[in-house]
Amino acid sequence: MTLILDTLRRPELELLASIEGFSLDSIAGAELPDFLGGWEILVVTDHRTLRIWSDVEEHDFEGFKEQYSRLFVAQSDEGLEEATQKGNRYYFHSGERIDRIDLIRDTVRAEVMGFPTWEYVSDVAIVFSLSGGSLAIRREHMNLEVISASFSDTARTAEIPSPTSYFTDTIDTQHSFERLAIPIATLLRAAD
C-alpha cells in the first residue's frame, strides 16, 4: 500500500510550539479580506510572527497526476506593514494567551477492487486554543491552496469542517476518512 505523508515538518512544529504561552496580537495578510481567506495568513504574537500558508504539490498515488495542497509554517512578518496600512489586520481575541496548539490531521484511505491501495495523511487545520476562545486556520480544499481563519469563543477542535476534495467514489474505488486532533507538544515528544 502506498503511504503519502503531507504533514507539517518538525521545524514547523517547533515554530508553532514556540508561541505557546505567548499572547495573540492579530492575524493579518497583505491581501487578507474581511472574510479571512486567502493563501497566506500571518499570526502575530507578542513573541514572534508566523506565516502560515498553503501551496500545492503534485502526486500520482490515485493512478493519475493531481495537485494536493499542504500547509506550511515559517517565521516571517513579510507583508505585515502592508497589511496594516491596507486595514487587512484583524484584532479579534487580541491579548489572549495561546494556551495550546492542536493539529487536525485527516487520513484518507482508498480501497480499489476491495484491496487497500493508498493512504493519504495530511494536516488540514491548526487550532490555537486561546484563553478566551480559539482561532482555527484551515485548508478549505484538499486540492487547492485556499486557507481561511475563523475565531470562536469556545475551544472547538471537534468542529473543524472537512476540506472539499476531488476524492470521488467509483464502482471500483471507495474512500474512507479518519480524523485526529493532536496537540503539537505530543507530536514533538513522539518525534524525539
Partner 1 sequence: MGSGYGGGYAPGRSSTRGLKENHDQAARLFGTSRHGWLGQPGRQAHVQVIRTANPEQTANAAFNLLSQGGQIMWRDSGRVKLALFAPETSGEDMSAVTYRQISRMGDPAVDIKITGPDGFSYKIHFERER
Q: Give the binding site for partner 1 (CB under 8 A).
A: 30-31, 33, 35, 37-39, 53, 55, 58, 64-67, 79, 140-141, 143-146, 148, 150, 161, 164-166, 168, 170
Of 69 and 187, the one with the shorter C-beta distance to partner 1 is 69
Using alpha carbons only, what angle is made at residue 52 by residues 46 and 55, rounded to the nearest 5 degrees? 170
Q: Which amino acid is at 185?
A: A
Q: What minimum distance in Å lies between the beta carbon of 61 and partner 1?
A: 13
Q: What minimum distance in Å lies between the beta carbon of 22 and partner 1?
A: 25
Q: What minimum distance in Å lies between the beta carbon of 50 and partner 1?
A: 15
What are the backbone angles phi and psi of residue 94, rounded to the nearest 5°?
-65, 140
Of 168 and 189, the one with the shorter C-beta distance to partner 1 is 168
Task: Give the number of other Cβ atoms within 10 Å of residue 181's Cβ.
Answer: 13
CA proximity to 107, closest of 180, 165, 170: 180
Of 171 and 190, the one with the shorter C-beta distance to partner 1 is 171
In Å, what is the CA distance from 189 to each residue of 14, 20, 70, 130, 179?
11, 15, 23, 22, 20
Q: What minimum distance in Å lies between the beta carbon of 35 and partner 1?
A: 4
Of 38 and 187, the one with the shorter C-beta distance to partner 1 is 38
Report the C-alpha gap between 96 and 110 in whole angstroms.
41
